[in-house]
A and B are shown apart, each in its own frame.
Chain A
Amino acid sequence: MKIAVPIKFVPDLVEELTIDPSGTALDTTWLRLIINELDDHAVEEAILLKERTGGEVTVLSAEADGVDDFLFTAAAKGADRLIKLTGDFSAADNHALGRAFADVIKELQPDLILTGVQAHNDLDGSVGPLLAEYLGLPYVGYVAGVTLAGDKVTARKEYSGGLVAEVEVQLPAVLGIQAAEQPPRYVAYSKIRQVMGTAKIEERPVSGLESSGGVVVSRMFQPEVAERATMLEGSPEDVADKLVGLFKELGTL
């Protein structure tokens, strides 16, 4: 069983986000990047599957500050191969990223591809379904639990309202992970250090990112105050009466 886990780095919300002078993108001067939380869960799920049934886990990421450390940490947890896509990804959207991942993954020929179901900076859809489209593979998203059975997997797909569906999928397939079966594990820093001395990150240069089908940002801005809210004063009964009056006025009642 070969499992590929394409991951991406996203802006760390611990730092204040600012808009760059073009007004269409985040200012990257002070931007700090962090692993997309759900991609971290995808890595954990892949390692859990490997521990249960054996196999080889490959973690792939586009080049970014902090990616090497993350890849080494994944190796210390049990990932077997680390691949870094190199090139200028500063303006890469998920369409471009999906295509770049697809090219490398075609060559890896994995049985299963796990990736985080979404990220907080997804503007043009999430990576998983795009990747599945480019690879011509089936996709199931919002997965929290994977069972392997021969050339099929059963994915536990979460729906809102507490519903869960068990979906059988023919391999190879792409799964969008909502949560690993256990929280991402801790690995002692001494182990990461050891891995840094032995593990290799394979670099794959990527040129000519293709972002067609994506979105064009015309304006990026902080939330703006449009109109002041009206505070209704008085006893709860008075306020309720005024509220009903307002709703009638607006035609909603």
Chain B
Amino acid sequence: MEITLSPLSPSVTKTFYTSLFDIKDGERIRTCLQCGTCSGICPFGYIMKFPPGKIIGAIRAEIFEHVLKTDSVWMCVSCNACAAFCPSNIPITSVLMTRAKEEMILAGNVPSELQAALENTQRYGNPLGESPRKRADWTLGLQPEVNILAKTRQPVDVLWYVGDYASYHPRMQSATKALAKILNVLGVNFGILGPEEYSDGDSQRLAGERGLFEMMAQKNGQVFRRYKFNEIITTDPHAFNALKNEYPALGIAYPVRHYTQFLFERLEQIKPLLKNEIKAKVAYHDPCYLGRVNGVFDEPRALLSAIPGIELVEMSHQRINSLCCGGGGGGMWLDGFQWEKAHTRLSEWRVREAIATNAEILAVACPYEPPRFEDATKTIPAASQLKVREIAELLAESMDL
């Protein structure tokens, strides 16, 4: 695309730029050094006509409209790597990229796959387009029965916010069941919301649909207020991020932990239960919204290391420098779109990294990942023997549950 030097309409750039200052730490964008670190660390920066640093350059040149004419921002998977490595500490993902996507959505410029997920969220409260009434169907057959709060109305210690993919995705349901069994064995008094639970909305927010996110948050907030519990745990790092960092500003504030943190606290109780040996080299993939964004790196590793037989190995991208599975920020619903642009998937890069460590198991802690990485092991021939397991699945297997 040809870029003219004359601004098309400086007011468009100005309106957009000043809107960034309304977001937390948005004004830091003024301190951009144009060093290009963000564009370099961005996993899809090489394919974007306007990677993050260049967007800031375009804003300063008052030609932001040109950015909106490209579909660059739909390659952003909101992995937060740009923000984590920015020497000026600019929250590039949450401020610049998310607002730019919002502009695309307000202009009605939405790839059809993403549109379907957003419409499903609005209509059914989940991006998969599943019936809300079936949200707790994964619990069928589990003994003891999982406590669905609308049925029992009993106060619980722990409200387990299960999340969209952990509730509905057929591959993830085995991990969700595994966690239910673990919580039962540990004697945790927990309950779920089942059909009353709505999408956390965080990935929709990071895909630029702020209004939809707020609608989901308000609906969840209303349901939370109906029941008595001491804390929330969640299977989903995206829900964890929303509940921890975004919901409080909307007046929905509860103590929340990812399930790996919750189990880590009970590690001494868990250790004697880990009877079965799982003899394997295991590489752990840090989910973006558990690790890089919220600093939970050690607990998942400690849980894995406690399983007899497991030898933990590290991939080249790890901890704060982890490589996104490609599912964040709307990426889960832009698979075809991104494939057309890149002819590769981040999940495929990641399984290549896993096999480079000679790992036999790729361990994960986010519901987007088992299906994404399992698909990748089917398209990368060298990875065909690599097993993708959720941490809860490995723990349950070792506990013989």
B115: A residues at CB distance < 8 A: 186
How far apart are B271's CB and chain A's nearest CB, in angstroms? 44
Contact assessment for B131 and A15 in the assembled complex, using a CB-CB cutoff below 8 Å: yes
- Contacting chain B: which of A85-93, A127-135, A154-162, A187-195? A187-195
Does B211 sit within 8 A of A, measured CB to CB? yes
Does A236 sit within 8 A of B, measured CB to CB? no
Contact assessment for B106 and A191 in the assembled complex, using a CB-CB cutoff below 8 Å: yes
Give the B-binding residues of A (Cβ under 8 A): 14-15, 30, 34, 183, 185-193
A189 to B112, CA, bound (A): 16
How far apart are A145's CB and chain B's nearest CB, in angstroms? 19
Contact assessment for B108 and A186 in the assembled complex, using a CB-CB cutoff below 8 Å: yes
B129: A residues at CB distance < 8 A: 14
- Contacting chain A: which of B117-125, B284-292, B368-376? B117-125
Chain B binding surface, main DSSP class: helix
A14 to B211, CA, bound (A): 24
**Which one of A186, A190, A192 contacts B210 once the chains associate, using CB atoms below 8 Å?**
A190
Contact assessment for B112 and A193 in the assembled complex, using a CB-CB cutoff below 8 Å: no
B117-165 interface with A by 8 A CB criterion: 118-119, 122-124, 129-131, 133
**Which one of B110, B130, B133, B214 contacts A186 once the chains associate, using CB atoms below 8 Å?**
B110
Give the A-binding residues of B (Cβ under 8 A): 102, 105-106, 108, 110, 112, 115, 118-119, 122-124, 129-131, 133, 209-212, 214-215
* With A14-B131, A183-B112, A193-B211: A188-B105 Cβ-Cβ less than 8 Å: yes
Contact assessment for B105 and A186 in the assembled complex, using a CB-CB cutoff below 8 Å: yes
A30: B residues at CB distance < 8 A: 133
Q: What would be 14 A-B contacts, judged by CB atoms less than 8 Å apart?
A: A14-B129, A14-B130, A30-B133, A183-B112, A186-B105, A187-B108, A188-B102, A188-B105, A189-B122, A189-B209, A189-B214, A189-B215, A190-B211, A191-B211
How far apart are B104's CB and chain A's nearest CB, in angstroms? 10
How far apart are B204's CB and chain A's nearest CB, in angstroms? 9
The residue on A at minimum CB distance from B216 is A189
A189 to B208, CA, bound (A): 11
* With A14-B129, A15-B131: A186-B118 Cβ-Cβ less than 8 Å: yes
Contact assessment for B215 and A185 in the assembled complex, using a CB-CB cutoff below 8 Å: no
Contact assessment for B123 and A34 in the assembled complex, using a CB-CB cutoff below 8 Å: yes
A34: B residues at CB distance < 8 A: 123
The residue on B at minimum CB distance from A193 is B211
B124: A residues at CB distance < 8 A: 14
A183 to B112, CA, bound (A): 9
The residue on B at minimum CB distance from A189 is B211
**Which one of A14, A183, A185, A189 contacts B212 once the chains associate, using CB atoms below 8 Å?**
A189
